[in-house]
């Protein structure tokens, strides 16, 4: 730990242009070295900033990836990690050091500058690419000129249902457009099993803006997904799946196996289910805890290959914002006992005993490597997709093989797993997997783990990678081809960035030193600077339930969406009692109560402040005549719309009140 901190301190000093003095030997020396402030950037999809150095302190803000901060000091936290004290435009607080990246020093490379110009990268892309080039000079960055306007793609991707965020996300990540939010109940439209809500335009802009992710590890969402035998190795897959069920073995039939080797299983053990993880059986999913990721999200039946879609995997940390790292959908549901008997092909119960082994165990890693060879898709991509679809422990009902309606059927990529025709997500996915393919190329029915993984990979390669959606980004945001904005593999907005980050973990230093290729979209009419992620939380509901005035009616009749009203009173009315109630309990209302009315034209403003701080104003324009009321309109006050009598005397009063004229 000390050596790593010393190197960090040295980097900070060098980046600040300060000569590196004698070696630092203690934490106090390191803290002293950081007395000079330096500029860093957030390296997390959504980072909690805390009031003190440790996760036990309260969160004071959330910062998005690549947000610029000033590091003023550092200290050891209560959780054993090093924490930076940071300052940014909105305040100050503490963040874990491993989520704040150091500035990268680079010198001008004339050849690289010429290359960037030849590719047509905008100026706002170049600083990020320069820093990456300084670290990895062999990397190749190609500009994908989409020919699309930023002002076109954002409204298209903002259509309800195309992009979702988890229901536990902060409120500013959720849409309040028509159809997305119910103002009467202060609730968002539940989608995909009630766990997901429509995404806001602002968070979509952030994740669609490539400039926010020209950093390691998020740059890997732009890496080409084609299989490269030289760089994508079995050892890399082993590293990627460490700690997941894919690190264990699968039980597959010996007959017809596409994987050589393996360990034959004695006949008495042939009743074991297909999932044979290193722990002996799958454990229930730990949804949403410790960075574990389960499930997927729907993209809709827009092609023959429909998949709910993988979502987000990030480093395990309590300081990655909860609720934004879980992908929508079926994974993690339908947990079943892995010790249940394997049904026989004739449906009669457990497999009949035999004298020769008919099953064998093979590493999942070997199946994934074979899937890569047959599909032409990177094994790192395939492994990442499976983990994100089925959860780290593989407890989804889609891959248990023990579903009573679909015994021995598996669907590792959640192909066709979306609710439709009265079927739930799991049922629909298993139904799809059980059907014979019209062409046979995807190996359906997927009645073994091998066929499900290899066949699913073949289908993914044919329907996505080979059709131009050959990066995580394009798989999530389809901005190419003739089917733009459709045929999008997943709906979870942060999915592409987080999938890329997960895949980057499989690359060791030797692989990263090779000529990896990244295809980065470029749009026209982009904002001058990268679109920051919204950080505000709290209810957005700043609408009123009612406005009433003792003794009078408003024109027009009150409606929560109408913000301007008119009222005429005669000279005898010198004050009004205005009652205003907000729809949402978090909202506060000001401007109501007893209000004095001046002679002539005046207005009363009632302000509603939502829980998230947004304000909506309702205005009542009042005209009070100078003389006794005659029932006639002031010719200078506007056109007479209606003449009405007061509502009537208040309870306990006597007599009547003069008529009032409502002016438009």
pLDDT at 106: 78
Q: Tell whether 126 is covered by a domain.
A: no
Enclosing domain of residue 639: 544-663
> Which pLDDT band, with edges at 50, 70 and 90, does 127 fall under?
very high
pLDDT at 240: 87
In the predicted model, is pLDDT for residue 566 greater than 60?
yes
Mean pLDDT, all residues of the chain: 80
Cβ distance 539 to 610 under 8 Å?
Answer: yes
Nearest to 127 by CA among 205, 67, 39, 215: 215
> Which pLDDT band, with edges at 50, 70 and 90, does 368 fall under?
very high
Give the alpha-carbon dihedral of 359, 365, 371, 374, to 10 degrees.
-100
- Domain end, chosen from 101, 127, 148, is at 101
> Which pLDDT band, with edges at 50, 70 and 90, does 346 fall under?
very low
Q: Tell whether 146 is covered by a domain.
A: no
Indicate if 485 and 371 belong to the same structural domain.
yes
Indicate if 332 and 267 belong to the same structural domain.
yes
Q: Tell whether 596 is covered by a domain.
A: yes
In the predicted model, is pLDDT for residue 314 greater than 60?
no
H-helix or E-strand spanning residue 59: strand 59-64
For 303, the token pair is: 């092609």
**Which of 139-148, 150-159, 451-460, 633-642 has the lowest average pLDDT?**
633-642
**DSSP E strands, 130-204:** 140-149, 164-166, 181-182, 187-188, 196-198
State in Å, rounded, how far the first CA of the chain is from the last one: 73
pLDDT at 43: 85
Indicate if 517 and 550 belong to the same structural domain.
no
pLDDT at 268: 65
Query: Residue 169 — left, alpha, or beta (φ > 0 → left; ψ -120 to 50 → alpha)?
Result: beta
pLDDT at 607: 98
For 464, the token pair is: 């996505």
Indicate if 483 and 576 belong to the same structural domain.
no
Indicate if 77 and 220 belong to the same structural domain.
no
Indicate if 509 and 611 belong to the same structural domain.
no
Indicate if 259 and 298 belong to the same structural domain.
yes
pLDDT at 269: 56
Total tally of structural domains belonging to the chain:
3
Cβ distance 145 to 522 under 8 Å?
Answer: yes
CA separation for the pair 487, 473 (Å, rounded): 13
607: CB partners within 8 A, 6+ apart: 589, 590, 591, 615, 616, 617, 618
H-helix or E-strand spanning residue 408: none
Please report how many Cα atoms fall inside a 13 Å half-sphere around the Cα of residue 494, on the Cβ side. 30
Indicate if 631 and 513 belong to the same structural domain.
no
Indicate if 330 and 448 belong to the same structural domain.
yes
- Domain end, chosen from 101, 134, 153, is at 101
Kindly report the number of other CB atoms within 10 A of residue 593's CB atom: 13
Q: Tell whether 469 is covered by a domain.
A: yes
> Which pLDDT band, with edges at 50, 70 and 90, does 354 fall under?
low
Indicate if 555 and 437 belong to the same structural domain.
no
Indicate if 470 and 324 belong to the same structural domain.
yes
Q: Tell whether 246 is covered by a domain.
A: yes
In the predicted model, is pLDDT for residue 166 greater than 70?
yes
> Which pLDDT band, with edges at 50, 70 and 90, does 280 fall under?
very low
Cα of 532 vs its chain's centroid, Å: 14
Q: What are the pLDDT digits (tens) for 492-523?
A: 999 999 889 888 887 877 778 888 999 999 99
pLDDT at 231: 84
For 159, the token pair is: 């259509």
pLDDT at 181: 97
Q: Tell whether 157 is covered by a domain.
A: no
Of 68 and 122, the structure prediction assigns the larger pLDDT to 122
CA separation for the pair 77, 318 (Å, rounded): 14
Q: What are the pLDDT digits (tens) for 457-481?
A: 999 999 999 999 999 999 999 999 8
**Which of 180-189, 576-585, 638-647 has the lowest average pLDDT?**
638-647
Q: What are the pLDDT digits (tens) for 595-632?
A: 999 999 999 999 999 999 999 999 999 999 886 443 33
> Which pLDDT band, with edges at 50, 70 and 90, does 104 fall under?
confident
Residue 78: give its domain's CATH number. Answer: 2.30.30.40
């Amino acid at each position: 730990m000390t050596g790593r901190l010393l190197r960090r301190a040295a980097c900070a000093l060098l980046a600040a242009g300060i000569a590196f003095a004698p070696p630092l030997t203690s934490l106090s020396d390191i803290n002293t070295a950081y007395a000079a402030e330096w500029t860093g950037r957030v390296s997390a999809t959504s980072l909690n900033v805390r009031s003190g150095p440790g996760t036990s302190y309260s969160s004071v803000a959330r910062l998005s990836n690549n947000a610029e901060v000033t590091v003023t000091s550092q200290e050891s936290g209560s959780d054993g990690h090093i924490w930076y004290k940071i300052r940014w435009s909105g305040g100050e607080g503490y963040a874990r050091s491993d989520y704040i990246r150091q500035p990268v020093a680079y010198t001008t490379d004339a050849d690289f500058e010429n290359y960037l110009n030849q590719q047509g990268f905008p100026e706002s892309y170049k600083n990020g690419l320069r820093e990456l080039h300084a670290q990895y000079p062999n990397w190749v960055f190609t500009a994908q000129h989409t020919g699309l306007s930023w002002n076109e793609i954002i409204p298209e991707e903002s259509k309800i249902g195309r992009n979702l965020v988890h229901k536990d996300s902060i409120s500013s990540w959720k849409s309040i457009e028509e159809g997305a939010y119910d103002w009467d109940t202060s609730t968002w439209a539940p989608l995909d099993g009630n766990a997901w809500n429509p995404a806001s335009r602002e968070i979509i802009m952030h994740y669609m803006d490539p400039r926010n992710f020209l950093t390691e590890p998020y740059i890997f969402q732009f890496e080409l997904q084609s299989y490269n035998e030289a760089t994508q190795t079995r050892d890399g897959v082993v590293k990627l799946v460490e700690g997941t069920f894919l690190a264990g073995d699968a039980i597959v039939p010996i007959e017809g196996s596409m994987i050589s080797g393996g360990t034959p299983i004695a006949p008495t053990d042939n009743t074991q289910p297909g999932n044979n993880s290193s722990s002996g059986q799958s454990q229930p999913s730990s949804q949403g805890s410790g960075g574990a990721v389960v499930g997927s999200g729907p993209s809709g039946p827009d092609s023959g290959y429909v998949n709910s879609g993988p979502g987000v995997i990030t480093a395990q940390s309590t300081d990655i914002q909860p609720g934004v790292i879980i992908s929508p959908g079926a994974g993690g549901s339908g947990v079943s006992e892995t010790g249940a008997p394997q049904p026989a092909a004739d449906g009669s119960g457990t497999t009949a005993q035999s004298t020769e082994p008919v099953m064998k165990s093979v590493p999942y890693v070997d199946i994934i490597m074979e899937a890569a060879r047959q599909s032409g898709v990177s094994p790192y991509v395939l492994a990442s997709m499976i983990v994100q679809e089925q959860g780290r422990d593989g407890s989804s009902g889609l891959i248990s093989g023990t579903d009573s309606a679909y015994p021995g059927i598996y669907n590792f990529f959640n192909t066709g797993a979306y609710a439709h025709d009265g079927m739930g997500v799991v049922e629909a996915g298993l139904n799809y997997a059980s059907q014979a393919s019209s062409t046979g190329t995807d190996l359906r029915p997927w009645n073994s783990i091998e066929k499900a993984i290899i066949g699913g990979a073949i289908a993914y390669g044919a329907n996505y990678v080979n059709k131009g959606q050959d990066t995580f980004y394009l798989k999530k945001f389809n901005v190419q081809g003739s089917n733009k904005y459709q045929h999008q593999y997943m709906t979870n907005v942060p999915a592409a960035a987080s999938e890329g980050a997960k895949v980057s973990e499989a690359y060791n230093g030797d692989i990263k030193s090779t000529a990896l290729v990244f295809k980065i979209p470029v749009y026209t009419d982009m904002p001058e600077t990268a679109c920051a992620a919204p950080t505000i939380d709290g209810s957005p509901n700043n609408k009123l339930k009612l406005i009433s005035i003792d003794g009078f009616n408003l024109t027009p009749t009150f409606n929560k969406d109408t913000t301007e009203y008119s009222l005429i009173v005669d000279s005898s009315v010198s004050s009004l009692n205005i009652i205003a109630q907000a729809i949402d309990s978090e909202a506060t209302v000001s401007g109501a109560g007893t209000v004095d009315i001046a002679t002539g034209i005046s207005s009363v403003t009632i302000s509603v402040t939502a829980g998230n701080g947004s304000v909506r104003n309702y205005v009542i324009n009042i005209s009070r005549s100078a003389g006794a009321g005659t029932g006639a309109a002031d010719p200078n006050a506007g056109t007479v719309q209606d003449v009405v009598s007061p509502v009537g005397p208040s309870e306990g009063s006597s007599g009547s009140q003069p008529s009032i004229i409502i002016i438009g």
